[in-house]
Amino acid sequence: MRSALIGVVLLAVVATVVTATTGVVSTVIGGDGNTAQAARTYGVCNAMMGVWPKGGTDQSQRDVRTLGEESLQIAAMIITIGRERNLPPAAWQVALQAGRQESGLRNLTYGDLDSLGIFQIRGMHGSVEQRLDVRWQINWFYDTLTRIKDWERMRPGDAAQAVERSAFPDRYHRWEGMAVQLLADLGKVEDPTGCASAPPPSEAAAKAISFAMDQIGDPYVWGGNGPDAWDCSSLVQAAYRAAGVTIPRVTYDQWLAGAYIPLEQAQPGDLVFYGNSSNRWLIHHVGLYVGNGEMVEAPYTGAAVRKTTVRVWNDLIPYVVRPGV
């Protein structure tokens, strides 16, 4: 059964060429010359991974070298179908991480209870024939993923967990580098994370900073909306409103209000967050970065709006949000 399915995969992947001269797979998929467009559709910046080094990392390359022929064919099919469906490479990455964790990117005829296939799909979701059909499985995964609200804003491993609902939710993160390596090698996505060419802050950033600086000395009041008292999220909302940019009122919604950028690449006007990026409901504080390692914030009850050093506490999220881009 599995060898027949592999043949189907090979027929479906057009113009696929695999070489291993340096131990890293180099595959061209589709032959449509559309790789630049694929790179652009990845998104603004998947900062959860940081800037991807040219050629990948030693670990990501080792992980790709461990994949057998069947796994590489399935990875190629995941990318090909993702491209056919006009899904961004971020979706391909989620599927690659899920498939690697669930089956080693193999079309397994066995699994826990009645689970089968690449993604160990349970019997409630399809027949045995469907759950062993490579194309059906990949489309099922993409259908399920795209029904998840804000999946594009999640770390890829968290999005994989949202589809798979595993008892071991953190294990998908292990394959993040491998998946990005496959995007680069098989999908020919030159800048998989998009962070190497992240958009600059908008012109509104300077106006937002100016507004926030003018509020220094105003008291912190939980739920305060100005004009003379603020909490952390109302301050940054008002700052950007004064600059003509609308962002949400509360901190965990502001996490969704712009492009993600690695913290080390923060520019004046970016939003600095504290909490848990894997669960936005646990994000509890925000400040407005002003440069030189400093931010303006409305800190806590009994204190006033102030300019202060960005504090490197355990819950400082290592990505900022860039509104208005």
- Same domain? For 50 and 65 the reply is yes
Whether omega before 227 lies within 30 degrees of 0, making that bond cis, reads yes
73 touches 10 (CB < 8 A): yes
- Same domain? For 134 and 173 the reply is yes
- Same domain? For 121 and 34 the reply is yes
**Angle formed by the axes of helices 58-65 and 176-185, nearest 10°:** 80
pLDDT score, position 15: 35
pLDDT score, position 47: 64
> Which residue out of 203, 232, 264, 284 is catalytically annotated?
232
- Same domain? For 162 and 89 the reply is yes
State yes or no: is 45 an active-site residue: no
**Angle formed by the axes of helices 134-146 and 156-164, nearest 10°:** 110
- Same domain? For 80 and 147 the reply is yes
State yes or no: is 285 an active-site residue: yes
Please list the residues that pair with 17 across neighbouring strands: none
- Same domain? For 60 and 186 the reply is yes
Q: DSSP states of 99-162 as a string?
A: HHHHHSS---S--STT-BTTTTB-GGGS-HHHHT-HHHHHHHHHHHHHTSTTGGGS-HHHHHHH
Of 173, 197, 221, which residue is a domain's last?
Answer: 197
- Tell me which residues of the chain have a pLDDT lower than 70: 1-51, 196-197
Query: What is the C-alpha to C-alpha distance for residues 107 and 127, in angstroms, rounded to an integer?
Result: 15
- Same domain? For 122 and 175 the reply is yes
Interval 236-270: pLDDT, tens = 999 999 999 999 999 999 988 888 888 888 999 99
pLDDT score, position 57: 84
- Same domain? For 298 and 155 the reply is no
- Same domain? For 215 and 187 the reply is no
State yes or no: is 125 an active-site residue: no
pLDDT score, position 48: 61
Question: Into how many domains does the chain fold?
Answer: 2
Query: What is the C-alpha to C-alpha distance for residues 286 and 21, in angstroms, rounded to an integer?
Result: 48
213: domain CATH number?
3.90.1720.10
Of 143, 169, 197, which residue is a domain's last?
Answer: 197
- Same domain? For 193 and 209 the reply is no
311 residue type, one letter: R
- Same domain? For 63 and 160 the reply is yes
Of 167, 197, 227, which residue is a domain's last?
Answer: 197
> Which residue out of 45, 173, 176, 285 is catalytically annotated?
285
287-292, long-range: CB < 8 A, 24+ apart = 287/232, 287/236, 288/208, 288/209, 288/212, 288/235, 288/236, 288/239, 289/320, 290/209, 290/212, 290/213, 291/267
pLDDT score, position 13: 38
Q: Which domain holds residue 286?
A: 204-323
Interval 162-206: pLDDT, tens = 999 999 998 999 998 899 999 999 999 877 777 766 777 888 999
- Same domain? For 103 and 122 the reply is yes
